[in-house]
Amino acid sequence: MENKLYDYILSLGDNSLILGHRLSELCGHGPSLETDIALTNISLDLYGQVRNYFQYAAELAGEDASEDSIAFLRTDRQHKNVWLVEQPNEDFGHVICRQFLFDSFHMPLMKQLCESKDERISAIAKKSIKESSYHERFSSEWMKRLGAGTEVSNQKVQAALDHLYPFVNEFFQETPLDKEMKENGIGGDLPAIKEVYFKNVHALLLEAGLTIPEPDWRQTDGKLGYHSEHLGFILAELQYMQRSYPNSDW
Amino acid sequence: MELDINKLENDFQARIDAGENIEPKSWMPEKYRKTHIRQISQHGHSEIVGMLPEGNWITRAPSLRRKVGLLAKVQDEAGHGLYLYSAAETLGISRDELFHQLHTGKAKYSSIFNYPTLSWADIGAIGWLVDGAAIINQVMLTRTSYGPYARAMVRICKEESFHQRQGYEMMLTLCAGTPAQKEMAQDALNRFWWPSIMMFGPRDEESPHTEQAMKWKIKLKTNDELRQQFIDITVPQAEILGLTIPDPDLKWNEETGHYDHGPIDWDEFWQVVKGNGRCNKERLGARVKAWDDGEWVRDAAMAFAEKKEKSKEAKKAS
Ligand SMILES: [Fe+2]
Ligand SMILES: [Fe+2]
């Protein structure tokens, strides 16, 4: 049981870790100072969540495990995040669209996890939910701005949406671990979130003047540890110091 | 008319001499306004360009705690840029125009940010030395005559001193760590020491604006005085770290009660100011790219706001 709980916590934390990393790449390069600051804020919130999850996971793992050994010393196959959060910052349209598609999932998940039978997970969710609702508001507002702003912005955010939409399916792919965690009252109920998700997302896309994509393929394996080529490069940067200077305090 | 201007200028100087703040709506000599736009915007640009060398290590930070600390620090610098641009705007220049001046090379920023960050220790060294040097300058500026600038400095100084402590604490950790970490720390100090003491600008003899700036209380101390103050504070800190400052002529002078230092390579300083430093092109290039890439986003936000405004008006009318 402890092992499964550990894996489940990592599956929650890894999405925040990788998305936080992607957003942190943008710090200093945003389209305006205000958006730069806002995106960095989101990155900081996500890293705050990561630390809470990984500190808890490290306690469960015992021995020499720490938030940093979990964050910096795992192979790509040991990461449980979905492909969506690995996708690069092609342009501001991709950044916002990726964020919106993630927040629309993350918010209802946090709502459910507030009721988790695991007290620590529930506490983390209660803390995260305020942040997530701010993120969701930010990304939704920007989806509307870009969708309804100019012809160029509409085209750009539509292109981002078309590219990213096939990845959302993965959120709702129930692994055996997800099922078990749902049944024992610790984890989220993915099929239930799926219903809310598409209802909300579709409504916002229509309001933003965007076309809802109908992808003919759907991404599946990230949660099982099979990732895009992007993840290897993310980890190469993320882990560079810990791998080059093992067993050091920073 | 001549007389009127003279009287206005005399009254203006009397207000400054009496320690009053000059506010945006006060009358001010055109030169005072221009000098302030130049200095405040240069300061703002330094905050914004200064995000880049440190931003360079965010994705490679060695621990989650350090990553969060660095992200928050770089974000603070963006905030400082915002305050300063707002202060400059009170003098009648737009933010777009300020950016235009930066991007075309008309406005300068602090040369320190044209040096590369080559290791994690550089992040510690920058916090310790660069934020440390900035504070000395900025504490002085909290008493500058232009109100909005002075008030921006009060807010900024609090955060800068936090940055300085955070950077020094990073250096302490490195110096108490493995031999490789200590070597990294020494190497960072070797590369950042001289550029840091150059941050205070040219020697007093070669600083033509100083006299006027002091009269207007844009400056309360000369470049050399500030530089000396920085060196006197920093040398003992390096000793605590067990690091060697890369200046063989550096020694305590009993008579003056200050540290004497060796000659500064002013050729290097002017080369970097002219745009020939190691990272001038990258730094400015990154800012221009962010601006150009962001154009369609800013346009969209503007168009959306206008559409919303129009539909509000239409609703009101109906
Ligand atoms: Fe600053
Ligand atoms: Fe700072």
A182: how many CB neighbours lie within 10 A of its CB? 17
Ligand nearest to the CA of B160: 2
Nearest to B63 among A25, A44, A68 (CB): A68
Interface touch A250/B298, C-beta < 8 Å:
no
Given a contact cutoff of 8 angstroms between Cβ atoms, the answer to whether A167 and A84 are in contact is yes
Q: Which of B55, B63, B289 sits opposite A250 (nearest CB)?
A: B63
Query: CA B288 to CA B100: how far, in whole Å?
Result: 9
* Residues constituting chain B: 318
ipTM at complex level: 0.96
Q: Picking from B54-63, B138-147, B164-173, B178-187, which range would have the lowest pLDDT averaged per residue?
A: B138-147
What secondary structure letter does DSSP report for B274?
Answer: I
Q: How high is the pLDDT of residue B214?
A: 87
| Band of residue B3 on the pLDDT scale cut at 50, 70, 90 | low
Percent pLDDT > 70 in chain B is 99
3-state DSSP helix/strand/coil % of chain A, to nearest 5: 75, 0, 25
A185-221 pLDDT per residue, tens: 999 999 999 999 999 999 999 999 999 999 887 878 8
Tokens 């791998």 — which residue? A243
Q: Could you tell me the pLDDT band of residue B213, with boundaries at 50, 70 and 90? A: confident
Give how far B178 is from chain A: nearest CA, Å.
Answer: 7
Query: In this structure, which amino acid lies at residue B180?
Result: A
**Which of B75, B82, B303 is facing A40, going by the closest CB pair?**
B75
Instruction: Measure the CA–CA gap between B62 and A244, rounded to whole angstroms.
Output: 10
Check residue B242 and report its DSSP letter: T
Q: Do A250 and B59 touch (CB under 8 A)?
A: no
Query: Which ligand places an atom closest to the C-alpha of B47?
Result: 1
Long-range contacts of B69-74 (CB under 8 A, 24+ apart): B69/B166, B70/B123, B71/A24, B71/A27, B71/A40, B71/A43, B71/A44, B71/A47, B72/A44, B73/B127, B73/B163, B73/B166, B74/A27, B74/A28, B74/A40
Minimum Cα–Cα distance from A152: chain B residue: B296
Minimal Cα distance from B172: which residue of A?
Answer: A250
Nearest CA in chain A to B50: A28
Q: Who has greater pLDDT, B196 or B318?
A: B196
> How far does A1 lie from chain B, in Å, by closest CA?
27
> How far away is chain B from the Cα of A241, in angstroms, using its nearest Cα?
5
Residue A137 contacts residue A126 (beta carbons within 8 Å)? no
A 10 A CB-CB count for B293 gives 14
Interface size, chain A vs chain B, as Cβ–Cβ contacts under 8 Å = 139
Tell me what the mean pLDDT of segment B222-241 comes to.
97
Which of A67, A152, A249 is nearest residue B296 as measured by Cβ atoms?
A: A152
Q: Which residue of A has its CA nearest to B58?
A: A24
Rg (CA), chain A: 18
- Give the residue ranges of chain A where pLDDT is below 70: 1-2
**pLDDT confidence of residue A182:** 97
Q: Does A28 touch chain B (CB under 8 A)?
A: yes
**Predicted pLDDT of residue B260:** 98
Q: Cα dist. B162→A40, A135, B131, B156, B168 in Å? A: 19, 27, 9, 10, 10
Q: Would an 8 Å CB–CB cutoff place A249 in contact with chain B? A: yes
Distance from residue A127's CA to the centre of ligand 1 (Å): 30
Of B68, B78, B286, the CB nearest to A37: B78
Residues 62-121 of A with CB under 8 A from B: 67-68, 71-72, 91-92
Confidence of residue B1 (pLDDT cuts 50, 70, 90): low
Using H for helix, E for strand and C for coil, what is the string for A100-160?
A: HHHHHHHHHHHHHHCCCCCHHHHHHHHHHHHHHHHHHHHHHHHHHHHHHCCHHHHHHHHHH
Model confidence over B115-131: pLDDT tens digits? 999 999 999 999 999 99
Torsional class of B90: left (φ above 0), alpha (ψ -120 to 50), beta (otherwise): alpha
- Which chain A residues are within 8 Å of B285, Cβ to Cβ? none
Q: Shortest CB distance from B67 goes to which of A30, A32, A47?
A: A47
By the CB < 8 Å criterion, does A58 face chain B?
no
Task: Confirm if B252 and B261 have CB atoms less than 8 A apart.
Answer: no
Backbone angles phi, psi at B252, to 5 degrees: -70, 135
Pick from B206, B190, B205, B201: which is nearest to B272 by CA? B201
Residues from chain A that touch B297, judged by Cβ atoms under 8 A, are 31-32, 35, 92, 146, 153
- List, for residues B185-202, the tens digit of each pLDDT value: 999 999 999 999 999 999
- The candidate with the shortest Cα–Cα distance to A132, out of A108, A164, A149, A157, is A108
Which CATH superfamily, name and number, covers A2-244? Ferritin, core subunit, four-helix bundle (1.20.1260.10)
Query: What number of other Cβ atoms are within 10 A of residue B132's Cβ?
Result: 24
pLDDT in tens, B7-62: 999 999 999 999 999 999 999 999 999 999 999 999 999 999 999 999 999 999 99
Domain residue extents for chain A: 2-244
Q: Do B64 and A50 touch (CB under 8 A)?
A: yes
Measure B49 CA to nearest chain A CA, in Å: 8
Average pLDDT, chain B: 95
Q: Are B107 and B101 in contact (CB under 8 A)?
A: yes
How far, in Å, CA of A178 to CA of A109, rounded?
A: 12
Which one-letter DSSP state was computed for residue B181? H
Alpha-carbon distance of A113 to A121, in angstroms, equals 7
| The pLDDT value given to residue B31 | 92
Query: Which are the contacts of B53, defined by CB distance < 8 A and separation ≥ 6?
Result: B113, B115, B116, B117, B122, B126, B279, B283
Comparing CA positions, the residue from A76, A75, A140 lying closest to residue A104 is A140
Q: Which of A36, A42, A90 to mutate to test the interface with B (most CBs of B within 10 A)?
A: A36
